[in-house]
Amino acid sequence: MIATIDLLIIALYLTAMVVIGLIMKKRAARNLDGYFLGGKKLPWYMLGLSDASGMFDISGTMWMVYLAFVYGLKSLWVPWLWPVFNQIFMMVYLSMWLRRSNARTGADWIRTRFGFGNGAGLSHGVVVCYAVIGVVGFLCYGFIGVGKFIEVFLPWDVVSNFVPFHIDPAFVPHVYGIFFTSIATFYVIMGGMEGIVWADALQFTIMTISGITIAATAINAVSPEALAARVPAGWDSPFFGWELGLDWSNHIPAIMDKINGDQYGLFAIFVMMMLFKGIFFSMAGPAPSYDMQKILACRNPREASLMSASVSVFLLIPRYLMIMGFTVLALVFFSDDFRQMGNGSTSKRSCPVPSTNSPMRG
């Protein structure tokens, strides 16, 4: 269960988010550029840090822990589904192109690309609809991840003693999700872009410290021999042939069913399709998404390119320290539990309780 010091940290963090929103309220209220773009005065590294923090989400990180557990270092290629190397195209020429438009939003930028005719107007409307649907989708994505994660570490039977109403256990993740989403909504609405950037900087600092701590815990608690005994041959290599080449039959047989369900068996073909998709997707031009707002908020085109170049540098090291730390601890201390659970170990609700000698306890 979560400790008192953890509760204090969470309380201080939530208080800081509210304070940031209140402090930045006056700056955001000056004009539309102040609200949407931070007045175009924020340095590129702060915007890059903010963009990286937005990508360091709980749902995606939990999914990547699963990928690392099942596919080992070969899981490094699976995020190409997005693709992650889109930042290269942004850095080289797309970010400069966007910033030179002096647009205020992604929808506004459509006017630069397509003009002001009927087709451009329809495109503008589609982008606005896409933005609304995308925001709702990502809110749901994060909402579910936050709710399920908090439920594990902060059981409702503890919280319910301080809540004056009854909640069905099935809806506990929804309550947690609503609470934390409401805090985020508050500082976003009140502080605008500058409030978001400063809140993201604080969040990223906390996540970086957490990632380093989790990685250090895994390094100290797990020996190379103990890890090697829990994983199949090839798990620790990012290289692959035509097929995936991982056989979990002698370790956790249920994982073989999960690999077949993911349809990543012919791994070389899968990676090639992701590579070509990523190149063509990136060359087609930037999508008018939330990330574009950070580019438009840069002080000039040069800093826009620097911002895009910095995102992956800021993001990948602390995030993968956390991911691989969680993965290594799970493999060594929970493999026996997963083996006993059989196919239940790959279900969405499975979460073994740490034993008394586990470094993850508390």
Report the share of the chain in percent with pLDDT over 90: 23
Distance of CA 326 to the CA centre of its chain: 15
To 5 degrees, how large is the angle CA 136–CA 140–CA 141? 115
To 5 degrees, how large is the angle CA 150–CA 258–CA 146? 15
H helices of 241-300, in order, are 254-262, 267-283, 290-296
Average pLDDT, the chain: 82
Q: How far apart are CA 182 and CA 163, in angstroms?
A: 17
Q: How far apart are CA 250 and CA 103, in angstroms?
A: 57
Question: Model confidence over 266-295: pLDDT tens digits?
Answer: 788 888 888 887 788 777 777 666 678 899
pLDDT of residue 128: 79
Q: How far apart are CA 152 and CA 351, in angstroms?
A: 8
Residue 75 predicted with pLDDT over 60: yes
Better-predicted residue by pLDDT, 130 or 209: 209
Residue 35 predicted with pLDDT over 50: yes
pLDDT of residue 182: 86
The CA-to-CA distance between both ends of the chain, in Å, stands at 6
0.85 exceeded by the pTM? no
